[in-house]
Structure formats: C-alpha cells, structure tokens
Amino acid sequence: MLDDAKIAIVVPAFNEARHIQRTLRGIPAFVDWIVVVDDGSKDATTQLAAESGDRRVLLLRHAHNRGVGAALKTGYQAAFDAGADVAAVMAGDGQMDPADLCALLAPVLRGEADYTKGDRLSHPLARARMPAARYIGNHLLSALTRLSTGLPIRDSQCGYTALHRRALERLPLAELWDGYGYPNDLLGALRVSGGRVRDVVVRPIYGSEISGIGLRHALFVIPFLLARVVLRRIEAALTRIPSLPATSSVEPE
C-alpha cells in the first residue's frame, strides 16, 4: 500500500520474453498486485512471468493477439476487481522507470487528478534519448490530441499512466479502442466524462524494444479516433443544452 491506498500495476505484454522478468523485478514493494496480461504472445512471455516468483503477480492470457488496448482493459478490470484503488500501467518491455512511479501516483492519491499520464517530451533528455522519428511523431500526435480533446496533454502516446477507480466507473471501458490509439481514445473518454487529467514528467527510456505504432496507425487510425472524440464532445455538449420551453401555435383571439 501507498498512502493507505491499494495499488495495482497492469503490465500488458506481447512477445516480451526478453524483458518481462526485468520489468517485474523492478516493480516497487509497495505495489499490492501486478496484473500481467499476455496478449497472445508466441514466445515464452507467459512462462517467464509465471516463473518470476513474485506472489503479487496475477497472470492473465488472451488466446490470440487482440491489441494493447484490449490487454489494458482486461488488466484494469482484473486490478479493480481485486480491490485496487489505483491502477498504473508499466509495459512489459521495461520502458517505464520504476523510480517515476511515486511521482505518477501522487496527484491521483492526493485527489488532485483522476488520471495521470507520463510526459517524456518535457524531460530535459528527451531529444537526446528518443529516436528522431518518435520524437517528432509524438509531438505531432500530441498536438492533434490536445486539439481534439481540449486537454493540455504534452505526450499523448506515453503509456506510463495511473487511473483511479472513481474515473473508471464513469468510463465506457468496453467501448474503448482495442489496438494502438487506445491512449487517445481513453483521453477523449476522460474529457467527455469530466475526468481530471494531469501530466507528470517521466524519464524517456529506449533500448531494444520495437514500437508497435506504424505509419498506418499514425496516418489513419489515430486521426480517425481523434475525429470520433470531437464528435463525442459535440454530442455531449448538445445533450447538456437545456431545452427551450414549448410554444403554442394557436393564434390569440
């Protein structure tokens, strides 16, 4: 526990046999549950996670690859069903530094935010550590996400996040996007539901992991999701407009 709150870590993993045990070893002792969701891996990800020896690990597996969004939805549901107050996400590829976890959780635990999102782009070493294509692409997608959601998010694609139970209860979890683009769809849903979102600067870490976001996602999938966010915001705004009083069409005598 941390600050009297029960904490879960959701670890989505797809073919992460090289990284999964190192990721699990790095998770701090104050975490109550570690929900590993193997999203249909073809390698030994499940076996190695099971062999970690950590009693906090709850291991779930999709029969086939459904997408990172689907893995996170499975993980969130399991974490909150287990009794967690807050669920943070640390990907199975070891890209999230455990040293940043307390800072990420703090605004949520203090009641200042419902959802915190890692911000690598504001870190002083971001430009040096991030591959150029990712650095430029993340800035572009983040700008589009800010425009469509109205949220002041610096790094929309960062997967290092923390979500409070109270926010999940207002979200249409089952309807959120299953694949890459899930973070953008979730931000849009939080905006519509009135969730409070805050950035927290985190360290950018890059190694041998391979990004699953391709040109198709950047050019078509994410813009489609962001356009859908705009439409949902418009729909939500229209439903909040009070109806005008009824008027009679009968002419006075």
pLDDT of residue 241: 63
Percent helix, strand and coil across the chain, each to the nearest 5: 40, 15, 45
- Per the model's pLDDT, the better-predicted residue between 88 and 211 turns out to be 88
Determine whether 79 is exposed, middle or buried from the number of CB atoms within 10 Å of its CB (0-12, 13-18, 19+). buried
Q: How far apart are CA 181 and CA 72, in angstroms?
A: 12
Decide the pairing of beta strands 115-119 and 161-164: antiparallel
pLDDT of residue 213: 60
Superfamily of domain 7-238: Spore Coat Polysaccharide Biosynthesis Protein SpsA; Chain A (3.90.550.10)
- In the chain, domain spans: 7-238
| DSSP structure class, residue 221 | I
* Over residues 153-178, mean pLDDT: 96
Q: How far apart are CA 53 and CA 35, in angstroms?
A: 14
| DSSP structure class, residue 135 | H
The answer to whether residue 17 scores a pLDDT higher than 70 is yes
| DSSP structure class, residue 237 | H
What is the number of other CB atoms lying within 10 angstroms of the CB of residue 130?
A: 19
Confidence band of 253 (pLDDT split at 50, 70, 90): very low
pLDDT of residue 252: 42
pLDDT of residue 248: 35
Residue pLDDT, tens place only, 174-232: 999 999 999 999 999 999 999 999 999 999 998 755 555 666 777 788 999 999 999 99
To the question of pTM greater than 0.95 for the whole model, the response is no
